[in-house]
Copies of this chain bind each other. A is one copy, B any other.
Amino acid sequence: MSNGQTGIPATIRDVAKEVGCSIATVSSVLNGRGRISDATKEKVREACKKLGYFPNAAGRNLRNRTTENIGILFYPSCARIFSNIFYSEMMAGLEEELTKANYNLLLAGYDISTNSSDLPKFIREGSVDGVIMLGGCPDEFKQQLADVPLPFLLLDTNLEGMPVDSIITDGFQAELMAVDYLVKQGHRRIVMFRHRHENYNEEERGKGFLAGAKRHGLENEADVIRVATNDEAVEKIKELMKDETPVTAITAVNDDMAVDIMHRLQLDGINVPDDISIIGFDDIKLARDAIPPLTTIAIDKKRIGKEGAETILSRIKDPGQPTRKIMIPTSLVVRESVKSL
């Protein structure tokens, strides 16, 4: 990257001097513009290689009003995302496609509540051509971001009724499938557990579960219970198993919760799936490795990332195009945590 002597990067001027031409010519060659003789083209390319010249990003940004950076926003902080395996594959898909398209990834946590109402530095200072928000966060935050005059995408969440691009999974349809499967296995009294906080995915999955129960005329036997901790869920399950018509199967809003509940039940001597059946959601590694392996809803997480990359790139290219809401399909993965009655 330097000429090996000074440690100072070569500029387009250095290249021009080396070749003995103008900087306009160098730029033209590098950007494939204008009619330049093959001879000079060759000389310019050689000089670039010799001097280790690459166009400086800041200079180009200033001139082009384009940064070739995409901002990735995590709520409330990067830590939350990094420690969540679910997002790792999404990030992999994003990185692969964005890098291929010659974009850098800029990272930031975003917690509006701590930083008063400041937008992330890279948005304020115009360091990105587009912003991707990863995962769930309060609608108010999403809206604030959507109002920024910059291509914006929600990944694995949605802002319903709003013209904002988003890549989402069909949690409603998926829970419908899960209920169908449980009913087919002979379960009649089923309950879903989700967290207390508001979250697009949790709502959708909850609605899907209820709709599934209703479809089988089970609306009185089914319920969605919101808990603050998994322990709370475990206690509730124990109660429900003592009912006159005991619960025989539960669904958890994600694998993390499902596996943890399963382990806690087992520690209390309740066998899965013999005493109670469990279905998760996400199909993360944890689900495959659990004992017993967890029956769950699989999502193609890498594909979410790839579709996301394609979507924001496309919007950068053509900002006027209609909003996209892309729905990634899911599938039921049958393993060993559900018993056939």
Contacts and interface: CB of A to CB of B under 8 A. Distances in A.
A329 interface: no
Interface string A83-126: 10101110110011001001011111100000000010111111
Contacts of A322: none
A82 B78 contact: no
Contact of A58 (B2, B58, B77, B105): B58
A108 B98 CA distance: 10
A161 interface: no
A1 B123 contact: yes
A40 interface: no
A41 interface: no
A256 to B, nearest CB: 11
A8 B65 CA distance: 11
Interface stretch (A21-29, A49-57, A214-222): A49-57
Given A95-B109, A106-B105, A125 B89 contact: no
Given A58-B126, A77-B95, A107 B104 contact: yes
A83 B79 contact: no
Residues of A in contact with B, size category: 35 or more
Nearest to A80: B92
B95 A121 contact: no
A255 to B, nearest CB: 13
A82 B83 CA distance: 8
A72 B105 CA distance: 10
A2 B105 CA distance: 23
Contact of A104 (B68, B127, B289): B127
A341 interface: no
Interface of A: 1-2, 7-9, 54-62, 67-69, 72, 77-79, 82-83, 85, 87-89, 91-92, 95-96, 99, 102, 104-109, 119, 121-127, 148-149, 263, 289, 291
